[in-house]
Amino acid sequence: MRDLGAGFGHLLRGQRWVARHGRSYGFGLLPGLITLVLYTAALVALALWGEDAAAWATPFADDWSSPWQGLFRGFLTAVLFALGLLLAVLTFTAVTLLVGQPFYESLSEQVDADLSPDGTAPQSGLPLWRELWISARDSLRILVRAALWGVLLFAAGFLPVVGQTAVPVVGFFVTGFFLTEELAAVALQRRGVDLRARLALLRSRKTLVWGFGVPLGLAFLVPFVAVFLMPGAVAGATLLTRDLLGEEDADEDAGDGESTPHVPVVPPARDDG
C-alpha cells in the first residue's frame, strides 16, 4: 500500500513541478495538442464510416432479414469504435512522446538536474536520430504487447459476470503499467536502460507503477485531459525513475521526502541496437 501511495505522490509532484516551471509546461503542451488533433480526426472518421466498413467486411449478411442485419452490423460498428478508442488510449502516450521527444527529453533532464546533488542530469551520449529510432522501435514493441492484452481482455469481456466486473479492472491496471513504461522510458533511456531491463525493473515494483499509472490512465479517458497532464506526467515519471533506481534527491521539497531508496533489480544496460 505504501508503494501505491508513493506512485500517486510522484504523479502529483510531477504536476506541481511543471506548475512551477511555466515555460517548460507550455512547450510540453505542443506535442499533445498535435497528437490530439490527429487522433480526433481518426476517431471522427471511424464514427462516420465505421458502419460502411462493417458492411464491407460482412457481405455474407447482405441477405439477412431485418432486424438481424442491422443489429449485427451495428454491434460490429460499436466494437470497431470501442477498439479504436482503446488503442487511442493505449497509444496516445507513445505517439505523443515520439512527436515531442526533444521537448520531453529536455523537460526530464531539467527535473533530474533540479533533484541531483551536483545539479547535473544523466546523458545518453547518443545523437538525436539514434534516440528517436530507439524510442520508436521500443514504442512499437510496447504497442504490440498492449494490443495483445487488449485483444485478450476484449475477448474475456464476453464472459458472464467476469467480463463486466473483473475484466475492466484488469484493463485499467494493464493500461496503467504500459502508460508508466512509456513515460519512464524518457528518463530510463537517457540512463542507457534497454527495454527488457526497463520492463523487469518496473515489474519488480508493480504497486509503485500502478499507483502512478492507473490514476493517470483513468484521467486520460477524459477528453483533452491527457494533453494538459502529459508534461507533468513526464516530470512525475522522472521522479518515479529516480525512486526505482534509488537515486538520491538533493531537494527534499521537490521530492517531498517520500521517495524510498531502492536498489534496482536489473542493472542499467546500454541499448545500442
Long-range contacts from 123-126, C-beta under 8 angstroms, 24+ separation: 123/190, 124/189, 124/190, 124/191, 124/192
**How many other C-beta atoms lie within 10 A of the C-beta of residue 205?**
20
Q: What angle do CA 19, 22, 27 make, to 5 degrees?
A: 115
8 Å CB contact between 235 and 18 = yes
Q: Per-residue pLDDT tens for 223-249? A: 678 889 999 999 999 999 999 998 877
The three cell numbers of residue 116 are 541531483
The three cell numbers of residue 174 are 494493464
Reported pTM: 0.74
8 Å CB contact between 111 and 17 = yes
**Residues 6 or more apart in contact with residue 16 via CB below 8 angstroms:** 232
What does the domain layout of the chain look like in residue ranges? 2-255
Question: Alpha carbon of 137 to those of 94, 95, 99, 144, 267: distances in Å?
Answer: 11, 12, 14, 11, 21
Q: Per-residue pLDDT tens for 5-62? A: 899 999 999 999 999 988 888 888 888 888 888 888 888 888 888 888 878 887 887 7
Question: Alpha carbon of 23 to those of 29, 30, 92, 107, 268: distances in Å?
Answer: 10, 12, 23, 10, 31
Q: Per-residue pLDDT tens for 78-97? A: 877 877 777 777 678 778 88
The per-residue pLDDT for 9 is 94
Q: Per-residue pLDDT tens for 121-163? A: 888 777 777 877 887 888 788 878 887 887 888 788 777 877 7
What is residue 212's DSSP assignment?
A: H
What amino acid occupies position 206? K
Give CA–CA dist 247/40, Å, rounded.
39
State mean pLDDT over 107-126.
85
